[in-house]
């Protein structure tokens, strides 16, 4: 013998709400060109974490194909800092970006390319 709920569903009466139904999200607002998205990238593609020291590297290291890498991962997989293309992280802007694998590349003062 089934439950009353099962009997009502079998008879064709559907419940007003579904138990696991979630409310619908409101439609996304239209994004205009005036809205600036992601001024500085902060997601490391190697460790897949959000870090404050992510920079873009154009390297030929066979250990990874990632380009946006944090300091820790770049030091671990031994990517030379001469291949760094950007100076966009919070650490770079504050002048405290320091690599432990080889010398740290110095960018001219006032440059902070975002991509």
DSSP, collapsed to helix, strand or coil, labels residue 49 as strand
pLDDT of residue 24: 76
Phi-psi region for residue 110, left (φ > 0), alpha (ψ -120 to 50) or beta?
A: left
**Does any domain span residue 18?**
no
pLDDT of residue 76: 92
CB neighbour list of residue 37: distance below 8 Å, 6 or more residues apart? 31
How much is the pTM? 0.57
Report the C-alpha gap between 78 and 59 in whole angstroms: 10
pLDDT of residue 105: 77
**Does any domain span residue 91?**
yes
pLDDT of residue 37: 55
**Does any domain span residue 20?**
no
pLDDT of residue 58: 92
| Structural domain for 97, as ranges | 52-115
**Does any domain span residue 108?**
yes
pLDDT of residue 114: 46
Cβ atoms of 106 and 81 within 8 Å: the answer is no
* Domain count across the chain: 1
CA 87 to chain centre: 17
Residue ranges of the chain with pLDDT lower than 50?
A: 112-115
């Amino acid at each position: 013998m089934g439950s009353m709920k099962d009997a009502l569903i079998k008879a064709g009466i559907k419940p007003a709400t579904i138990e696991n139904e979630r409310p619908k999200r409101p439609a996304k607002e239209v994004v205009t060109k005036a809205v600036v998205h992601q001024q500085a990238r902060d997601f490391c593609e190697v460790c897949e974490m959000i870090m404050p020291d992510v920079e873009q590297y154009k390297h030929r290291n066979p250990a990874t194909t990632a380009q946006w890498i944090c300091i820790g991962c770049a030091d671990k997989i031994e990517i030379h800092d001469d291949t760094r293309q950007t100076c966009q992280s919070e650490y770079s802007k504050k002048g405290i970006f320091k690599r432990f694998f080889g010398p740290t590349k110095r960018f001219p003062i006032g440059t902070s390319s975002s991509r």
